[in-house]
Chain A
Amino acid sequence: MAQVTLHKVVKNYDETPAVRGIDLDIADKEFVVLVGPSGCGKSTTLRMIAGLEDITGGEIAIGGHVVNDVPPKDRDIAMVFQNYALYPHMTVFENMSFGLRLKRVPKDEIRQRVENAARILDISELLDRKPKQLSGGQRQRVAMGRAIVRDPKVFLFDEPLSNLDAKLRVQMRTEIKKVHQKVRTTTVYVTHDQVEAMTLADRVVVMNAGLIEQVGSPNELYHHPRTRFVAGFIGSPAMNFVPCRLEETSGALRILLPGGHAFAVPAERTDRYRQYAGNADLVFGLRPEHITETHRNIEPNQESFEVTLEVTEPMGMETLVYFQLDGAEVCGRVNPAAGAEDGRPMTLLADLNHMHLIDGKSGLVL
């Protein structure tokens, strides 16, 4: 039983608020990722859970016990740092067993637990090496091993993959997921990389400016973002935003872009959006994958429009196309066979079944 509960948690650094009151319930065995741009308070939140930062206000509970004033060593947590923080003068074995030795765990048990963890992480051959003899990926494994051997209630990861190169990062991401499937410990993971967040998490917590923007499963955040920030932060390339106004003509709603482009709102959304008709301060949001090349079988609520492409980026399985749409930079994803070329005009298809309408002032998705 190791749920983690944050209740109205606040952190100020000399009057500067870093975390401005967040509530979060993390279930036992859950893998939760805190994601957000730098300075959003995600690392501070993690460090407060770890006990490395004092809590200015609110309450943090681990396994049902409020730990506000409990020192880190008594919280039964383990943490993996971005720069690994391995003890440079100790071998891998000594690094991994340091916590257990301090707790005076019997030697046989230490050996058994270290070897077990080493087997899970595939570092059994490295136990006699010093950290400086290891590669970045191996060091990261050792840092994880140090966390696993202690069999803590909660794993805390602070951007553990940020120091690795791109290829290794993808590999270690899978590794972390596998380890979690094997060990099943409640995990709180901090990253600024939304791809990492999406791939690893049971639930993603998107933070911005010291507050939680939205909590939800990766798919929920992707398909039903609650705010413009979440809509723009999750997904790569990011969602396209074009300022727009909404007009009602004989019962049907139309989105008018500043340059004259117009798209019909799907009929089933009419009731949802009707109250905003006439509002000129709205933002039209559509993900790049919902802007494609035209094809023969156009489904309902798909509308074609003409643009001149500025830049095309062939990715192999698709080509990203960038163009101006009524003053906004917009990205679409087209089939590589569709013949997209820099500077050429092209007819594209917008799938309005997946459109989002955002209130320009509050930033809320309507």
Chain B
Amino acid sequence: MSATATIDKSGPSRPVRHGSMSRDRRRALIWAYFFLVVFVIFFLTPPVYMFITSLKSSTEIAEARNPWWVFDPTLINYKALLGSSEFLTFIWNSAMVSVLVVAITMVVSVMAAFALSRMRFWGSATLATGVFLCYLIPDTLLFIPLFKMFAVFHQLTGIQLLNKWYVLVVIYPTLTVPFCTWIMIGYFASIPKELDEAALIDGANYIQMLTKIFIPVALPGIIAATIFAFTVAWAQFLYPLAFTTSSDQLVLPVGIVTTLIKGDVYNWGQIMTGALITAAPPLVIYAFLMDYYIAGLTAGATKG
């Protein structure tokens, strides 16, 4: 009897297993780190190798020494590229194309997504699905018919768009608009219906509802879509390769390949440098906008 009484007073005598939780967690973390390290090595080796090679002169690259180390670092490749007006033209063309494509994409897709998600009209659901299906058609399938379309367009109107950098501004949105519209439809759908009803009662028309409520609230989604559109426009290779040929009309990815590979002579140092310079802007943009990308601006909109 008395023994029971003491146990009752001192609480449960069974050992409490604090450990199980943290042991599980540790095991999960070990595996997480293992795979993270594997993936980091897998994905970072090429850029590191590019960076190492970009600091070498052509002679050093040709030497049979350890390729993973720079023995005589030099900036000669960077000087050569950034000093060449041809390369600067590529950068300029790429920048123009990307900025214009992003602008067109965002205007079109935000308005389209708003209409498809909020202004219920006949066939809006079908249209929304159709938009997404557009994205599923690969660009390798499209460039020949598109090329033919521009050729016919030239015959009919006399306006030559082929081999002009701005033809890309017309073509890229076929890739970016469907996907961005789809992202934005999802984002707008997460905004509670009462928010637009409140705005409607407050006296907002559809344009005001879009600009004053939807765009600010969906900003993280808009930034995500912008990053996507920029990445697609900046890194696109197939379309510019097919639609532009003169060296003053080329964008960076194609420009590097076509001007730095002369016949069977590969200027590896400059190719690697050019690739690094090309990869830089998306990296910088991701780094700066990542916080926005993640921020949950809609928190507190309705329920707490």
Contact = CB atoms under 8 A, between A and B. Distances in A.
Given A98-B202, A102-B202, A102-B204, A88 B304 contact: no
A82 B205 CA distance: 23
Interface string A123-167: 000000011111110010000001000100000000000010000
Interface in A43-86: 50-52, 71-73, 77-79, 81-86
Interface stretch (B77-85, B86-94, B248-256, B292-300): B292-300
B201 A50 contact: yes
B204 A73 contact: yes
A103 interface: yes
B217 A87 contact: yes
A314 interface: no
B197 A88 contact: no
A84 B297 CA distance: 17
A163 B212 CA distance: 26
A43 to B, nearest CB: 12
A88 B200 contact: no
Contacts of A73: 200-205
A83 B300 contact: no
B200 A85 contact: no
A296 interface: no
A131 B300 contact: yes
Given A89-B216, A102-B204, A130 B194 contact: no
Nearest to B219: A89
Interface in B189-213: 192, 194-195, 197-205, 208, 212-213
Contacts of A163: 303
A83 B192 CA distance: 9
B118 to A, nearest CB: 13
Given A52-B197, A73-B200, A85 B216 contact: no
Nearest to B203: A73
B265 interface: no
Contacts of A150: 202
Interface string B32-71: 0000000000000000000000000000000000000000
Nearest to B301: A88
A83 B302 contact: yes
A190 to B, nearest CB: 14
A360 interface: no
Interface residues of A, number: 33
Interface in A156-199: 163
Interface string B100-143: 00000000000000000000000000000000000000000000
Contacts of B192: 83, 85
B208 A88 contact: no
Contacts of B212: 98
A79 B208 contact: no
Nearest to A136: B304
A85 B299 contact: no
A85 B302 contact: yes
Contact of B297 (A81, A88, A98): A88
A23 B212 CA distance: 38
B217 A88 contact: yes
B302 A87 contact: no
B93 to A, nearest CB: 37
A99 interface: yes
A135 B300 CA distance: 10
Given A85-B192, A89-B216, A72 B200 contact: yes
Nearest to A81: B194
Contacts of A103: 203
Nearest to B218: A89
B217 A132 contact: no
A161 B195 CA distance: 18
B209 to A, nearest CB: 10
B21 to A, nearest CB: 31
A139 B192 CA distance: 16
A24 B217 CA distance: 39
Interface string A18-55: 00000000000000000000000000000000111000
Contacts of A82: 194
Contacts of A98: 199, 202, 204, 212
A88 B300 contact: yes
A72 B201 contact: yes
Q: Which of B195, B201, B204, B217 has the most CB of A within 10 A?
A: B201
A99 B203 contact: yes
A134 B195 CA distance: 17
B241 to A, nearest CB: 43
Contacts of B202: 73, 98-99, 102, 146, 150
Interface string A91-105: 000000011001100
Nearest to B304: A136
Nearest to B213: A87
A89 B217 contact: yes
B125 to A, nearest CB: 15
B197, B204, B298: residue with the most chain A Cβ atoms closer than 10 Å: B197
21 contacts: A51-B201, A52-B201, A71-B200, A72-B200, A73-B202, A73-B205, A77-B201, A79-B197, A79-B198, A81-B197, A82-B194, A84-B302, A85-B198, A85-B301, A87-B195, A87-B301, A88-B297, A89-B217, A132-B304, A134-B300, A150-B202
Interface of A: 50-52, 71-73, 77-79, 81-89, 98-99, 102-103, 130-136, 139, 146, 150, 163
Interface of B: 192, 194-195, 197-205, 208, 212-213, 216-217, 219, 297-304
